[in-house]
Amino acid sequence: MTTGISLGFSSYSFHSKLSTGEMTLPEVIEWVAASEGEHLELAVLSDAADSPIPTIASDPAYVEQIRETAERAGVTLSTLAIGADFLTDDPRELATRISRVKEYVDLAESLGIRQMRHDVVAHAGVDGDDTPQFEAALPSIVAASKEIAQYAATKGVTTSLENHGFFVQAADRVRRIIHAVDEPNFRTTLDVGNFVCVDEAPEVSVEQNLPYAMVVHFKDFYIRPADADPGEGWFRSRGGKHLRGAVVGNGDIDLPAVARAIRASGYTGFASIEFEGWEDCLLGCERGLANARRLLETA
pLDDT in tens, the chain (299 residues): 767 999 999 999 999 999 999 999 999 999 999 998 999 999 999 999 999 999 999 999 999 999 999 999 999 999 999 999 999 999 999 999 999 999 999 999 999 999 999 999 987 666 778 899 999 999 999 999 999 999 999 999 999 999 999 999 999 999 999 999 999 999 999 999 999 999 999 999 999 999 999 999 999 999 999 999 999 999 999 999 999 999 999 999 999 999 999 999 999 999 999 999 999 999 999 999 999 999 999 99
C-alpha 243, offset from chain centre: 18
pLDDT at 128: 74
- Give this prediction's pTM: 0.96
pLDDT at 265: 97
* Residue from 115, 32, 112 nearest 74 by CA: 32
Q: What are phi and psi of 272, to 5 degrees?
A: -115, 135
Measured distance CA(80)–CA(117) in Å, rounded:
6
pLDDT at 114: 99
Measured distance CA(220)–CA(128) in Å, rounded:
26
Q: Would you call 254 exposed, middle or buried from its count of C-beta atoms within 10 A (0-12, 13-18, 19+)?
A: middle
pLDDT at 126: 65
Q: Would you call 115 exposed, middle or buried from its count of C-beta atoms within 10 A (0-12, 13-18, 19+)?
A: buried
* Residue from 230, 257, 234, 248 nearest 285 by CA: 248
Measured distance CA(286)–CA(250) in Å, rounded:
13
pLDDT at 299: 93
Residues 6+ apart with CB under 8 A from 285: 9, 13, 14, 35, 273, 275
Domain architecture of the chain: domains with CATH = 5-298 (3.20.20.150)
Helices (H), 35-113: 60-73, 91-111
- CA torsion sign for 70, 73, 79, 81 is negative
